[in-house]
Structure 1
Amino acid sequence: MYKNLRVVPHMVFGRGSFNQLDDILRAYRTDEGSHVVYLIDAIHEHRPLIHRVPIHKNDLIILVNVDTEPKTSYVDELVQRVNEYSNRPPDAIIGLGGGSTLDLAKAVALMLTNPGSAADYQGWDLVKNPGITHIGIPTLAGTGAEISRTTVLTGPTRKLGINSDFTPFDQIIMDAELVEGVPTDQWFYTGMDCYIHNAEALAGSFINTFAQAYAEKSLDLCRDVYLGDDPEADDKLMVASYFGGMSIAYSQVGVAHALSYGLSFLLGTRHGVGNCIVFDQLDDYYGPYVEEFRRMMDKHNIQLPRGVTKDVDEAGMEKMIDVALGLEPLWQNALGPDWKSIMTREKVRALYERM
């Protein structure tokens, strides 16, 4: 059966489009006594952007800490805080920040209308009720969180997103002015998440004409950004991120993401950094793309963390392997239906030991 794909229904793209946020929110506000909730990356607390947020008298701003990968327990804390703020639900949840902040906004919006803990919904199509209206405004480009049907969450036993048709944003605003001035390392690692999405999709067994078209164009844009000197690099990276997210929505990621999830679960490695650490070891699976990725690293003087697994004990290694191998759709895409006979625990261990 073919996937009935749900995408973000409303999108604004363009420099300065953030200035339209108040007008856009007018369509979602219900009355003068209602409120919206802003989840804003705490890095913006003392930056000019926060003073441009159109706050109304009842609105709630929560500065979220994304120094580590988002956890299901943190989602639960945020949901409790939103519920305690008012006896009525918010008209909308707005996520303003990088991929982690956007994922938190999506998860909080869902958990305001679904019972239990966010950890109960880690998996595919477990969410039963539509969430509160949620709006995503990226201030980093590359993760595809603004368009994807998943969140990236670390739970008590695994790292796995809330994947559902209710997860995608109802509205996104893509303003390249908001990504200017990002530190080079962060700009690189976040953008490589997009590049690696595309490589895994194109090399995977789930690829189809729809996903291929988006992935190929996204790759071309990534090359313009990371191998060229394009004056419109920020705009192109935003579009590459969107297209990369669209590609994997109708295909899947693969080996790099599966192994990266293990690193993140045990060591707290940030998603983009983890993808790069892993991808650098995957010549056997994505050879030409890995070679190109290294040229991009050289151009921007990126030094990958090395030896990140050298102090991992046996129990930790086994847990990383469990987390990675638990992501069956990723392995099926990468290696086909017989992936279990190809990617053994010993092979996963050997790859981790090289990191």
Structure 2
Amino acid sequence: MNLIKDSFEFGLHTQIHFGVNRIQELPEIIKKYNYKNVLICTDKGIASSGALDRLESILKDGEIKYEVFTEVEPDPTIRIVKKVEQFFIERNCDAIIGFGGGSSIDTAKGVSIAVANPGDLSKFEGKNQIPNKGPNVIAIPTTAGTGSEVTHATVLKDEDRKYKMGILSEHLHPKAAILDPALLTTLPKGLATMTGMDALSHAIESYTSNQAQPITEALGLYAIELIGKNLRPFAADRTNIEAASNMMLASTIAGAAFIWGRVAAVHALSHPLGGRYKIPHGLANSLLLPIVMKYNVSSNFQKFKNIAVQLGENVEGLSLREAAAKSVTAVEELIADLEIPTTLKEINIELSDEEVQVVAEEAFASGIANANPRQVSVKDLVSIINTIK
């Protein structure tokens, strides 16, 4: 980036409350903003894990009036958002708590849009298309992956089109986020690994993106370092509170990085793969990340060398090109250590040439790949998909 010629924007509009057991402060936050009846938006997994019981106990002790919706689905849909919107209106709620993974937080954001902006949510796709700010959202993540707790974006699935659409607006920044690492200690291993790879993809793509700027580069590189040092021990033992704390920080920092530095070809492809074939978002990103990195590495050898170093690779004595290539090796070894599948065949998905072409065309049409550091065509995207078949 040429600081003499170029300009950039950066802003973080969410008040972050980080620390073990900071969830206890939720009643104070609600009273601070004078909310009278909050809606907890979560999923059945959180409800059955005991985490929801704890949250409700805290709210009851704080004499906070609340309602609960527990039918959030993975990859949140417009259909569910409209259902929660009706629930929110009928129960006279005035704020929303997104409690869970990215799906719960993105659903809460979608409800905020829907309550204040009647009509088909698909008309708000893209950037700054929402005319009216809706009810405030408080985000309480229980995974370390999406970063949605600090972003001004939500991704919702349009089931009719089998399509994941992104909505970005300054109205979507959560009012507050409670980052309590203790909430991560009951995560299943598979979810911990896949959400961790989601955070890593955010960090790497925002750091290498052609939209990267000094602040997002600093955030992205630090998130890469934190994930490189902590994802393996966190996956091995989710009760490792130090590793959990660092992964939660990394996820949020990567979220702050990518909302301004942008994501690129990995996410361009993972959205249609998830929308059409129900591949979990973190898994889709993990499948694609090393392949896209290999495609991009020549765009900036120095940046990819920096990634290799942050991921613990010894690059002493190597040429710049060789050191940069080590970044791909580091990610591949991380995926192997985490025992994450590396091909679509391993997860029982087989795509025809026609299906690959459709996914590539949807990825290209989304515009997300425009931020890729190396220009990509539909043909390039087809090749990337074929590599993971």
Matched ranges for 1:315-354 at <5 A = 316-328=355-367, 330-335=368-373, 339=375, 343-354=376-387
Shift of 1:226: 2.6
Equivalences for 1:85-104 in 2 at 5 Å?
Answer: 85-86=91-92, 90-104=93-107
Q: After the TM superposition, which of the residue ranges 152-161 and 92-101 deviates more from structure 2?
A: 152-161
Partner of 2:49: 47
Deviation >6 Å, runs of 4+: none
In the aligned structure 2, how far is the partner of 1:51 from the partner of 1:20? 16
Structure 2 contact 41–72 (Cα < 8 Å) conserved:
no
TM-score normalized with structure 1 length: 0.89
Q: Describe the SS at the equivalent of 2:70.
A: strand
Deviations 1:176-223 (A, max 9, x none): 000013122210110111111111122221121111110111111011
Gaps of 5+ in 1: none
Conserved? CA contact 2:12–2:150, under 8 Å: yes
Is 1:284 paired with 2:295?
A: yes
Distance in 1 (CA, whole Å) between partners of 2:204 and 2:170 is 24
* 8 Å Cα contact 1:206/1:251 also seen in 2: yes
Identity of aligned residues (%): 23
Query: What is the root-mean-square deviation in Å for CA atoms of aligned residues?
Result: 2.2
Q: Distance in 1 between matches of 2:341 and 2:164?
A: 26
Q: Separation in 2 of the partners of 1:226 and 1:36?
A: 34
Letter in 2 for 1:232: E
Deviates further, 282-291 or 125-134? 282-291
Deviates more, 1:115-124 or 1:17-26: 115-124
Tell me by how many angstroms 1:335 deviates: 3.9
Matched letter for residue 253 of structure 2: F
Given that 1:153 and 1:161 are in contact with CA atoms closer than 8 Å, whether structure 2 keeps it comes out as yes
Structure 1 residue 259: deviation in Å? 0.8
Q: Displacement of 1:321 after TM fit?
A: 2.1
Instruction: Supply the distance in 1 between the matched residues of 2:276 and 2:344 (Cα, whole angstroms).
Output: 16
TM-score (normalised: structure 2)? 0.81
- Tell me the distance in 1 between the aligned counterparts of 2:114 and 2:326: 41
Aligned residues of 1:191 and 1:237 also touching (Cα < 8 A) = yes
Distance 1:269 1:29 in 2: 40
Alpha carbons 1:123, 1:162 under 8 Å: kept: yes
Partner Cα separation in structure 1 for residue 45 and residue 31 of structure 2: 27
Match of 1:83 in 2: 89
In structure 2, runs of 5+ residues without a counterpart are: 1-5, 235-239, 298-324
SS at match of 1:159: strand
> What letter is aligned with 2:99?
L
Q: Which of 231, 242, 254 lines up with 2:252 in the alignment?
A: 242
Q: How many residues align?
A: 342
1:22 aligns with 2:32: no
Match status 1:233 vs 2:243 = yes
Secondary structure in structure 1 of the residue aligned to 2:251 = helix
* CA–CA distance in structure 1, aligned partners of residues 211 and 256 of structure 2: 14
Contact 2:14 2:150 in 1 (8 A): no
Aligned 8 A contact 2:217 2:257 in 1: yes
For each residue in 1:19-66, what CA deviation from the matched residue of structure 2 results, as whole angstroms up to 9, or x when unmatched?
111121112335xxx411110221122332222221457521000332
Residue 267 of structure 1, aligned match among 272, 277, 287: 277
Going from structure 1 to structure 2, the CA distance change for 1:96 and 1:315 (only over 3 Å counts) comes to same
